[in-house]
Structure 1
Amino acid sequence: MGQTIGLVRRQLLERFGAALAAGTVAGIVPAAAQTARPGAPPATEPGPDVSFGPLKRIRAGDLEVAYVEAGPADGRPVLLLHGWPYDIHSYVDVAPVLAAAGHRVLIPYLRGYGATRFLSEATPRNGQQAALAHDAVAFLDALKIERTLVAGYDWGARTACILAALWPARCKGLVSVSGYLIGSQQANAMPLPPKAELQWWYQFYFATERGREGYARYTREFARLIWELASPQWRFDDATFARSAPAFENPDHVAVSIHNYRWRLGLAEGEARFDETERKLATFPAVAVPTITMEGDANGAPHPEPAAYAKKFTGRYEHRTLRGGIGHNLPQEAPKAFAQAVVDVDGF
């Protein structure tokens, strides 16, 4: 959830977001005014879909990726990336809308989730931002997709932003919940005021062995608590949570999650093969592809104001704030509005 509860809860705008908003990150000047449209698409009720078709699997980079697909095989591709601690069902009501609009919808389980598995026991169970971004590129390569729309929230939004910033030729457009989420260990090292630090309680918990053991023992309870805190007005039922909870039983889920947060705080090493990618990300590269950013009016996870990141998007850009009690898991809480944003950015 990274710098989230779903980072913006997790990462940069775990810490970079706050620094960006305050204008304390070198070379970054906060936007003077938000580009949001007051009349943005209204919040919508979840739809009737309860599940997907059968899982598909493909070898891609370090992983055998489990994913679902909807829509015509020759449709315009769109890659939807989920966050922590959620899963592909965040898009269960988004996918049919996009499929009906002619898109080939691809929704993979991230490393450490669901039926996605590492191909080798020797591969580090690495959760750093660059690793997830390279996973996404490898997934597109394996499917022979040269260019796609990419959209996400939380960990997924960070990964989507990285793809758009570093691989713009692969991205036709971007939809990112909570905006620009690219971070760095240096930015995350900046201390925040006590009230702001309080919001990152789970990061500090995960920094300890007690936290690792606690998350391993109480994974479902922990995830449900995050859902409740991050989306305080989302009245999901037991069945909705139970549908996603098996994704956290992945044998690598705890290791990847703990590494993600420890890496952010500089308490765990990344992999040398990703050093060059992280160096590029530490410059906070601009995103030039067409972009729509989104935010719910009841996001209980730490997140920056849209004005703090608006200038990071240098192509055609629009921000939409959804009203009606929409929280952190925006695609699942407002699927029609999220799907509409994807359709709209495709037309930019």
Structure 2
Amino acid sequence: MGSVRTVTRGDLTFDVVEHGPADGDPVLLLHGFPQRASSWAGVASRLAGRGFRCVAPDQRGYSPGARPAGARAYAIDELVADALAVLDDVVGPDGRAHVVGHDWGAAVAWALAGRHPGRLRSLTAVSVPPPAAMLRAMRRGRQALASWYMLAFQVPGLAERALGADGKPFSPRLVATLRRSGQSAAAAERDAAAMAEDGALTAALNWYRAIRFSRGTPGRIRVPTLYVWSDGDTAITRDAAQLADRYVAAPFRFVELRGVSHWIPDEAPDQLTELIAEHLAAHPG
């Protein structure tokens, strides 16, 4: 299960789940939408068994104590600063860690690596390529079609009406949406139940609504990078995935998982753990 504690940044309090020995090499795990640290449980427990110290925060909007109002509060600069606050708590203000992110967590990880490369031993991005690769792929058409939901999520109130729980333990419509994208029933109900908390769905959607407030994408990544994509991903096209290497000026490895959906950490924890462990061993920092 891991142990749970909190990390503060200003008046925000983040719930953080830890797995593994306190003296293990630190690995920061960043989740995506609409998930929490629980989505990393399978990978974190496996890495902990190999001696790594895994630290997985419920990020801004997902931790009940870190749910500020307004979309501007969810700009990428704030999300990166939150990740740095967790890193500071784990390894000190000058320390370094391996950083792993999935979905929106990968976007934060790319930005963290681009802006603060000295804080990373290595980067592992799962599913989502660098933002510049996404933008370039969108101009080709298929990625723009796959990303239609990102525009819909930015309309105030629209997604809340479509995916809200309406007082139920979880939203059946959100569960159905996640299931169509390849998520298991158990994981979809777990994540939908978290989104049923007061204010949680709007806070999570604010990550999309803050895109217009986020400054330019970082330059080329200069830390050793592993990028893992799956051919069953309905949100990220092959076009976008195959552009990732253009934005990395460091050792880079691209791995495609066959027959796996977008939800790689939940669906393929053994494969993903093996890839991460190999990457960390090759680049201990």
- TM-score category of the 2 structures, normalised to the smaller one: 0.7 to 0.9
Aligned positions of 1:237-276 closer than 5 A: 237=185, 239-264=186-211, 266=212, 270=213
Shift of 1:54: 4.4
TM (norm. structure 1) is 0.70
Aligned equivalent of 1:133, options 80, 83, 92: 80
**Is the counterpart of residue 167 in structure 1 residue 102 in structure 2?**
no
Shift of 1:320: 0.8
Q: Assess if the C-alpha contact under 8 Å between 1:53 and 1:68 holds in 2.
A: yes
Aligned Cα root-mean-square deviation (Å): 2.8
- Higher RCO (CA < 8 A, seq sep 6+): 1
- Report the 3-state secondary structure (helix = DSSP H, G, I; strand = E; otherwise coil) of the residue aligned with 1:75: coil
Shift of 1:63: 2.0
Structure having the higher strand fraction is 2
What runs of 5+ residues in structure 2 fail to find an aligned partner?
none
Aligned positions of 1:73-88 closer than 5 A: 73-88=22-37
**Is the counterpart of residue 320 in structure 1 residue 255 in structure 2?**
yes
Aligned equivalent of 1:153, options 66, 85, 102: 102
**Is the counterpart of residue 289 in structure 1 residue 220 in structure 2?**
no
Q: Assess if the C-alpha contact under 8 Å between 2:19 and 2:48 holds in 1.
A: yes
- Report the 3-state secondary structure (helix = DSSP H, G, I; strand = E; otherwise coil) of the residue aligned with 1:126: helix
TM (norm. structure 2) is 0.84
Deviations 1:93-147 (A, max 9, x none): 111211111100111111111x44138x678772222221111011111334411
Q: Assess if the C-alpha contact under 8 Å between 2:160 and 2:201 holds in 1.
A: no
**Is the counterpart of residue 182 in structure 1 residue 117 in structure 2?**
no
Aligned equivalent of 2:246, options 311, 320, 323: 311
Distance 1:205 1:123 in 2: 17
- Further displaced range: 121-130 or 289-298: 121-130
Cα distance, 1:304–1:137 mapped onto 2, change above 3 Å: farther
Distance 1:249 1:302 in 2: 26
Distance 2:122 2:97 in 1: 7
Aligned equivalent of 2:152, options 205, 218, 240: 205
Cα distance, 1:57–1:123 mapped onto 2, change above 3 Å: farther
Name the aligned partner's letter for residue 30 of structure 2. L
Shift of 1:151: 0.6
**Is the counterpart of residue 345 in structure 1 residue 279 in structure 2?**
yes
Aligned positions of 1:28-43 closer than 5 A: none
Cα distance, 1:285–1:68 mapped onto 2, change above 3 Å: same
Which residue does the alignment assign to 1:30? none
Shift of 1:314: 1.4
Which residue does the alignment assign to 2:174? 223
Q: Assess if the C-alpha contact under 8 Å between 1:125 and 1:252 holds in 2.
A: no
What runs of 5+ residues in structure 1 fail to find an aligned partner?
1-51
Which residue does the alignment assign to 2:49? 100
Shift of 1:312: 1.1
Cα distance, 1:95–1:127 mapped onto 2, change above 3 Å: same
Which residue does the alignment assign to 1:91? 40
Structure having the higher helix fraction is 2
Distance 1:341 1:92 in 2: 16
Percent same amino acid among aligned pairs? 29
- Further displaced range: 285-294 or 254-263: 254-263
Cα distance, 1:166–1:250 mapped onto 2, change above 3 Å: farther
Distance 2:273 2:143 in 1: 32
